[in-house]
Amino acid sequence: MIAAATLATSSPDREMGINRSSSDALQIDRVDALLPQTQCGQCGYAGCRPYAEAMVREQAAINRCPPGGASGIHALGKLLGREEIGLDPACGRERPRVQVRIVEADCVGCTKCIQACPVDAIVGAPKRMHSVVAELCTGCELCIEPCPVDCIETLPATRPRMLTDESSQSRTRYRARQARLQRIDLQTRSQRDQALSNQSQEGSTRAAVLAAIARGRARREQKKR
Ligand code: SF4
Ligand code: SF4
Ligand code: SF4
């Protein structure tokens, strides 16, 4: 069964100013609405929406989402008018959903799991114990591998599939995180450009001062002769 998330009323692509035809954007919204919103990346894309974009642009096959499974492929094939094919085993296998839990006594507070979580489902602070907010965890398991002390364990999820409201919540949280990372990236780049520009200005000023000193020295030498 696939999460039948409702269509977004406004496209994030349009909000983000990406130059794309409105019919493409609408179709991406429709395809995205058929994806589970686990944001696990097993399809080979950074999340459900990038995979939806690739399918609409006919750059990706419809059988790359293990959490969506066979029913997901069926729904995508129907919407996109493509042949229904079996799940690509290279992407993973269809299996019951899991959720994760942090063994808090072992957590060293490195924050690596927070950085890996695509939907901000982990709370914690540097050198403090971290916890997973169970209601927000999609079971993507992306936090497990980065944990240096292996203190994140998987459990069977309380619900076997993402329900519509969970998918919707996950989509919103994923988009909010992406927007935040984009802002941070822009800020970092702007700070770096400013630092380089300051360095270059300091360099020009220093060169001008050295040139003035050299001219003064040359004038003095000339007067002595
Ligand atoms: S649930 Fe995972 S595999 Fe499926 S589309 Fe989303 S990110 Fe890709
Ligand atoms: S807590 Fe871990 S498994 Fe759950 S959504 Fe975040 S990264 Fe995925
Ligand atoms: S990655 Fe592991 S040790 Fe680091 S904060 Fe997360 S749970 Fe704790």
How confident is the model over 165-180, as pLDDT tens digits?
899 999 999 999 999 9
Q: Taking residues 124-151, what's their average pLDDT? A: 96
Tell whether the model's pLDDT for residue 68 goes beyond 60: yes
Q: Which tokens in the block code for residue 221? A: 């030498």
pLDDT at position 17, please? 47
Q: Where does the pLDDT of residue 101 fall: very low under 50, low under 70, confident under 90, or very high at 90 and above?
A: very high
Tell whether the model's pLDDT for residue 10 goes beyond 60: no
CATH number, domain containing residue 139: 3.30.70.20
Q: Where does the pLDDT of residue 218 fall: very low under 50, low under 70, confident under 90, or very high at 90 and above?
A: confident
Q: Which residues line ligand 1 (CB under 6 A)?
A: 35-36, 38-43, 45, 47-48, 51, 65-68
pLDDT at position 19, please? 53
87, 42: one domain = yes
Residue 138 lies in a domain: yes
* Contacting residues for 173 by C-beta, under 8 A, at least 6 apart: 119, 120, 121, 136
Tell whether the model's pLDDT for residue 20 goes beyond 70: no
Which of 102, 114, 135, 137 to probe ligand 2 with, by most ligand atoms within 8 A of CB?
A: 137
Q: Containing H/E element for 123? A: strand 122-123
Domain that holds residue 61: 15-91
Residue 180 lies in a domain: no
Work out the percent of the chain whose per-residue pLDDT is above 70: 90
Torsion region of 130: left, alpha or beta (phi above 0 gives left; psi -120 to 50 gives alpha): beta
Q: Of 42, 60, 91, which residue is a domain's last?
A: 91
Query: Ligand 3 pocket, 151 CB below 6 A?
Result: yes
Residue 55 lies in a domain: yes
**Distance (Å) from CA 208 to ligand 2 centroid:** 56
Mean of all residue pLDDT scores within the chain: 88
How many domains in the chain? 2
Tell whether the model's pLDDT for residue 136 goes beyond 50: yes
| Interior angle at CA 64, CA 50 and CA 2, nearest 5 | 85
21, 69: one domain = yes
pLDDT one-digit tens code per residue, 45-59: 999 999 999 999 999
Looking at the CA of 133, which ligand is closest? Answer: 2
110, 87: one domain = no
Q: Where does the pLDDT of residue 12 fall: very low under 50, low under 70, confident under 90, or very high at 90 and above?
A: low
Min mean pLDDT across 15-19, 32-36, 148-152, 180-184 is at 15-19
